[in-house]
Amino acid sequence: MTWYLVRRTGLLVLSLAAAGVLVFTLLRLLPGDVAATIGGLRAEPERLAAIRADLGLDRPLVEQYASWLAGVARGDLGRSQLNGSSVGAELGRKLQVTGPLAAGGVVVALVVAVPLGTWAALRSRTAVGTGISALAQVGVAVPTLWLGLVLVLVFSVRLGWLPAQGFPVDGWADPGAAARALVLPCVALGLTEGAVLLRFVRSAVVGVLHADHLRTARATGLTRGRALWRHGFRNAALPVVSVLGLQLAALLVGAVVVERVFALPGVGSMLVADVGNRDLVKVQGEVFLLVAVVLVIGFLVDVAHRLIDPRLREPR
């Protein structure tokens, strides 16, 4: 296990570096001159040179990359090219919205997918099972952003239970109001991701139900439910954990869209605005942060997989 951890951590670091190179180079391809954007059309050449020197744009690319990476390692993602504010500090504030949103989305997805998926598997050849599967099929096809709009229509416009858009200006100072603002976004995000997860839960449980060891467990006198609970879920959890990792990544990206639908001041809204403004350093920091989170989740999922499945552990 130790050796595996060392290898897997090495792979994580390599992937992070590669992702960094990717983000960095992609954004260096930007046509046009940032200095000209900041200095304006009539700036003298000396002024442009001064701006470039100030932003470090006159140094070789490798050097720029090295200094950016060193900054990232210190937790310093640089400063906005437009107004000089610290990218890291702003991201920290925005994460207070995006973090809970993604977490809530996962909770909703799990609450929907695990019980319904198991139920659909247990009743796989009945109307209930088929109905749940069909519902999941539709859920996968519905765009998250549209589901968000429909939820707003029903629960905000018609019923008036929850706010349609926005987030309290003072953030989590009033936890109740902040939580209420996140309910519909979390449900929109969680339902669509949950539909994908449900199909995997169902097929995993169906697979386990047909396994030999479960038949043996039944033969010892356990009911189907008890046999599944004691001997089945751990096996069924394996593929589901892998998919959940991928789902988390999808969820994080889905959050970008959902934040726009519900006008939430999170990382996604920030990213969309900065892409519009072509604020290179900020886009770079935001994209790298999101990709890094995805990679770290992948790492954690792989490690969790090893922990759940003793067959994968190396012989001592």
Binding marks (x or -) toward another protein, 120..149, rule CB under 8 A?
----x------------xx-xxxxxxx--x
**135 DSSP β-pair partners:** none
Minimal distance, residue 224 CB to another protein, in Å: 19
Give the residue with the Cβ less far from another protein, 53 or 134. Answer: 134
Q: CA 121 to CA 133: how far, in whole Å? A: 9
Establish if 260 lies at the interface with another protein (CB under 8 A): yes
Q: CA 313 to CA 297: how far, in whole Å? A: 20
Give the residue with the Cβ less far from another protein, 91 or 152. Answer: 152
Minimal distance, residue 122 CB to another protein, in Å: 15
Establish if 161 lies at the interface with another protein (CB under 8 A): no
Q: CA 181 to CA 172: how far, in whole Å? A: 11
Q: Which residues contact 251 (CB under 8 A, 6 or more apart)?
A: 102, 105, 106, 109, 189, 193
Query: Scanning residues 58 to 97, which ones bind another protein (CB under 8 A)?
Result: none
Establish if 162 lies at the interface with another protein (CB under 8 A): no
Q: CA 9 to CA 61: how far, in whole Å? A: 27
Establish if 150 lies at the interface with another protein (CB under 8 A): yes
**86 DSSP β-pair partners:** 79
Length reported for the chain:
316
Give the residue with the Cβ less far from another protein, 92 or 143. Answer: 143
Give the residue with the Cβ less far from another protein, 49 or 95. Answer: 95
Binding marks (x or -) toward another protein, 220..249, rule CB under 8 A?
-----------------------------x
Establish if 29 lies at the interface with another protein (CB under 8 A): yes
In angstroms, what CA-CA distances link 15 with 12, 20, 22, 211, 299?
Answer: 5, 8, 10, 37, 10
